[in-house]
Structure 1
């Protein structure tokens, strides 16, 4: 695994529109933070109006996970969630391009000693996170304080992939972006005592998963967390972040490592993970990435929970 490098091929004319768009985005995020929050919320409101399929998924997930919440409250959550998603667009650019000192002023961090303890013991750390809209800036802020290698999916557009990787790796000269399919490389890093950002809260299909409850619904939950912890001889350390309502930045919390993990069975481990994910979501539901079809995979014989995707 090597840090990303610029290639002359990225200057091909077919990439010029993307470079132009990225340049305009760079200019926009030089604005004051408070103004970016308001602009992002406006972008989110536009998405809510025009992204019909995404809006339907968010509404369905909120209905499934909070069935006892009154409809008007779920609608309020939906609006706040789209606003948070719009803000995340600018947070991504901030984390890639803001000067490190300007970015660092937004961080309010607790629990960093748990990562330091794993490092002092020579043990790897699986920094278990969840897909909140603030994940990009949360990882960037923590990465300024501790070397964090991140799991990511390679983007189909090579220029965007280069910019994304460069932005994620810049916060610490020793950090690496690890392609999600590179399991062997991830385990090598864990055995060297490094910390890796990893989020097990999405539906990757039933083949590598077991069905355990999430908000009372059987959810296909990947068993990889247990395997990585065992094979990488690593601690599993939960990590959460929240955008603070007063506009002062982000609360980052590195939680104590899970005890007796891995446990007796993969099912028990996955249930513990989902219980933690559920608790993290409940504390800040408006900032979770509800646009993902979390319950797409179903147990044999169970009914479909989402409408079929519309053909483009």
Structure 2
């Protein structure tokens, strides 16, 4: 990964495309999960269009593997010339409130590189879910520690509140299936999806501002776009389902900017409202 990260970005994108296409052909179980998710979330597309989006998704995530090398082993500051920031004034205004900012992100294929690029413009901490492989986790944590102020474990709520009390921004994502604990079933692309309620609890206790943001790779030429949106007003509302529905809708809107760049390989609808439901991801 270190060696590949030194290559020109266009060549890295090409290699990423090849990796993505190879995975599309060989990773049958992940392709099946992606096909199910695309079919559920984009019923307006015909079968050919859905299949094309599945293929593009693997390509986008293959390029994302190459971008991990840039984020972990190179200085992302070299990419600021091909990066455009949109709406940073929303973040700056939210920070002026003095109670910290929860950066509401999502699992896009530009996950690590987008996060690294964000830290070229703002100071932020990050919450991460540890990798199962100890070596990968060590490399990932070390790399993120060079970019972010503090790397917090996914369960380190005490550390999270400490950062917010210092009026810092914390990167935070809610868009994966974490099981049945502390969730509500809120619509995501029209499908009831297990969504954690912790976002409301954190905002309620800390009085922080919740600022949605996203980052995408350009299609036409090498480059990146980072979007900050106005902080959520009347949040939390006191209704967990309403809050979760609102958050899922925001993430859905961002995904629709570049549908292929989302992590569709994840079983987002694994936990079903009815425990007797056989689920969506049975063998093909």
Give the structure-2-normalised TM-score: 0.95
Q: Does structure 2 retain, via aligned residues, the 8 Å contact 1:140–1:171? A: yes
Shift of 1:246: 2.0
SS at match of 1:296: coil
Shift of 1:94: 0.3
Q: Does structure 2 retain, via aligned residues, the 8 Å contact 1:100–1:171? A: no
Shift of 1:309: 7.1
Shift of 1:100: 4.1
Taking a change above 3 Å as real, the CA distance of residues 308 and 213 of structure 1, as seen in their structure-2 partners, is same
Please say which of residues 98-107 and 264-273 is displaced more in the overlay: 98-107
Taking a change above 3 Å as real, the CA distance of residues 143 and 309 of structure 1, as seen in their structure-2 partners, is farther
Q: Distance in 2 between matches of 1:198 and 1:280?
A: 15
Q: Distance in 2 between matches of 1:217 and 1:121?
A: 35
SS at match of 2:174: coil
Shift of 1:308: 4.2
For residues 120-142 of structure 1, what are the alpha-carbon distances to aligned partners after superposition, in whole Å with 9 as ceiling and x for unaligned?
Answer: 33221010011111111111000
Taking a change above 3 Å as real, the CA distance of residues 262 and 137 of structure 1, as seen in their structure-2 partners, is same
User: Does 2:163 match 1:189?
Assistant: yes
Shift of 1:300: 2.2
Q: Does structure 1 retain, via aligned residues, the 8 Å contact 2:270–2:281? A: no
Which structure: larger Rg?
1
Q: Distance in 2 between matches of 1:129 and 1:30?
A: 28
User: Does 2:189 match 1:224?
Assistant: no
Pick aligned residue for 2:222 from 235, 238, 248: 248
Taking a change above 3 Å as real, the CA distance of residues 209 and 49 of structure 1, as seen in their structure-2 partners, is same
- Tell me, which stretches of 5 or more residues in structure 2 are unaligned? none
Aligned to 1:128: 104
Q: How many residues align?
A: 284
SS at match of 1:58: helix
Aligned to 1:58: 34
Q: Distance in 2 between matches of 1:115 and 1:85?
A: 28
SS at match of 1:297: coil
Taking a change above 3 Å as real, the CA distance of residues 272 and 307 of structure 1, as seen in their structure-2 partners, is closer
Give the structure-1-normalised TM-score: 0.87
RMSD (Å) for aligned C-alpha atoms: 1.6
Shift of 1:119: 2.7
SS at match of 2:147: coil
User: Does 2:263 match 1:292?
Assistant: no
User: Does 2:148 match 1:177?
Assistant: no
- Tell me, which stretches of 5 or more residues in structure 1 are unaligned? 1-24
